[in-house]
Structure 1
Amino acid sequence: MPARKKPPAAEAALIWERPEPANRPAPGPLSRDRIVRAAIALADKEGLASVSLRKVGAQLNAGPMRLYGYLSTKEELLELMVDVVYGEMASAGQLRGNWREVLRSIAQRTRQAARKHKWFIDLLGGRQHLGPNALAYSEASLAALSETPGFENIDDVLHAVRTVNAYVIGALLSEASELRAELESGMNETEWQNATWPYIQRMIATGRFPTLAKVVRDATHPSSDVRFDRGLDCVLDGIAVRLSR
């Protein structure tokens, strides 16, 4: 009888199916949930770069070696943190309405989550997140769209959701970059514009940038909220044209 093959190491090591250690009340109660909540609180307060097993352990009066009984790497901790945020997004309720309303809700929930947890956007855009909350939210998003007229083909559902998510991630990364620039320069948007305005005027006066001059003179320069909604409308209008074909 041939020997039974062991599962691949990566499969056996998935944090989502790995049991927690037996409960040990001393020197203090610990669980994955407490570890992740402490890491999220630290990231919300000090940024993602501040999160380490040592610092999270210090928040819980536990050494980092004790945390290794609950997770193996910092990457696993980040995945657990992301999954909690997906749980918060799902708790906003069922996605309802026509396809525009569903996709708009998906976009707005992601943006609201990124505003509450500014580090969240830095962990999006790579491989699909596979935690139970992330999978449940993906299932709810795809199911809500697939139940609307025009999205009977699952490929069309995937294309629409991925397109909206790509726009959202790009827009949120831009907003996050602007915020980081403010923090690093010590100037808000208005102060930065005032400081650079004389230079912009001199460059426009050369006559080499007529379209940029029109932007400065005639564009409305709306708030980030308005820009986000208008950009999302452009994406949804494009999906509508594709559906009409």
Structure 2
Amino acid sequence: MPLSRAKIAAAAIQLADVHGLDGLSVRKLAKELGVGPMRLYDYVVNRSELLDLMVDAIYAQIAEADQHSQWRATVLAIYHRTRDATLDHEWFSDLLGGRPHLGPHALAVGESTAAALSQAPAVRDIDDLQRIVGALNAFVIGALRREVTERRTARTTGTDVTTWQKTLGPYLTRMLKTGRYPTVARLVIDGAHLNPEETFHHNLITILDGITS
């Protein structure tokens, strides 16, 4: 059976989507591809290189984000595309923020993002650009990791919002009635259950406005 690095990456992504990174092994991947495990080492040296291939395949999806004439719209499109890709492949969040992603598609996404942000009025020099890119990446990575963690927790424990409220509601009610946490009480009682996508967009815009104005 003919193999290629792209085919191996695609099969590995399918396995990770179902079983997570912990359920991904060379043996399982070889079985999925119908070859012996040693055959894969003709294409990838080790697990780290396999993960690099998988990550760059996801960046290829992110790189498909629409490019706009206005820098701001381009930045928003890239980060929303990043969120979509991460929620489609939750394991991707586990690899965000670790070692640098330097595959060709990852570099292309980084280039598009930095080139767009370099057009922001507040960017006067390379130091400004570096700080802005770093601040946005920190927000996006943190937001996506939190959203994926919440989804995993709900899925593995069967704990949806209603169940959580029934379980912890009595305790939280007692604590809030002490009057020691008035602001937390307002958040719990008056705060709406926000839509994750809308929240991500709102917070992204808020941060983008703050660091580029």
| Same fold per superposition (TM over 0.5) | yes
Return the alpha-carbon distance in structure 2 between the equivalents of residues 149 and 87 of structure 1.
29
Q: Which has the higher contact order (CA 8 A, sep 6+)?
A: 2
2:49 paired with 1:49: no
Contact 1:171 1:228 in 2 (8 A): yes
Return the alpha-carbon distance in structure 1 between the equivalents of residues 64 and 187 of structure 2.
41
Name the Cα RMSD after superposition. 1.8
2:72 paired with 1:90: no
How far off is 1:209 after superposition? 2.1
How far off is 1:228 after superposition? 1.3
Q: Which amino acid in the other structure matches residue 54 of structure 2?
A: M
Q: Which amino acid in the other structure matches residue 191 of structure 1?
A: T
How far off is 1:54 after superposition? 0.8
Report matched runs for 1:149-228 at 5 Å: 149-228=121-200
Q: Which amino acid in the other structure matches residue 137 of structure 2?
A: N
Structure 2: unaligned runs, 5 residues or longer: none
**Equivalent of 1:142 in 114, 133, 136:** 114
Contact 2:121 2:212 in 1 (8 A): no
Match of 1:60 in 2: 33
2:3 paired with 1:30: yes
Contact 1:98 1:148 in 2 (8 A): no
Return the alpha-carbon distance in structure 2 between the equivalents of residues 128 and 88 of structure 1.
18
Q: Which amino acid in the other structure matches residue 99 of structure 2?
A: R
Cα-to-partner distance string for 1:86-120 (whole Å, 9 max, x where unaligned): 111112343x2434323322321211110111111
Contact 1:182 1:188 in 2 (8 A): yes
Match of 2:88 in 1: 116
Return the alpha-carbon distance in structure 1 between the equivalents of residues 122 and 182 of structure 2.
43
Alignment length, in residue pairs?
213
Structure 1: unaligned runs, 5 residues or longer: 1-27
Return the alpha-carbon distance in structure 2 between the equivalents of residues 127 and 194 of structure 1.
41
Structure 1: which 4+ aligned runs deviate by more than 6 Å? none
Return the alpha-carbon distance in structure 2 between the equivalents of residues 171 and 64 of structure 1.
37
Change (3 A) 1:203 1:68: same
Cα-to-partner distance string for 1:33-81 (whole Å, 9 max, x where unaligned): 1111100111112222211111100001112111111111111101100
Higher helix proportion, which one?
2
Return the alpha-carbon distance in structure 1 between the equivalents of residues 204 and 108 of structure 2.
24
Return the alpha-carbon distance in structure 1 between the equivalents of residues 52 and 46 of structure 2.
10
TM-score w.r.t. the length of structure 2 is: 0.91
Change (3 A) 1:178 1:225: same
Contact 1:43 1:51 in 2 (8 A): yes
How far off is 1:152 after superposition? 5.0
How far off is 1:30 after superposition? 1.5
Cα-to-partner distance string for 1:207-238 (whole Å, 9 max, x where unaligned): 33222212222222312122212211221121
Match of 1:236 in 2: 208
1:167 aligned counterpart, secondary structure: helix
Structure label with greater radius of gyration = 1
Change (3 A) 1:61 1:216: same
The share of aligned pairs that are identical, in percent, is: 47
TM-score w.r.t. the length of structure 1 is: 0.80
Match of 1:9 in 2: none
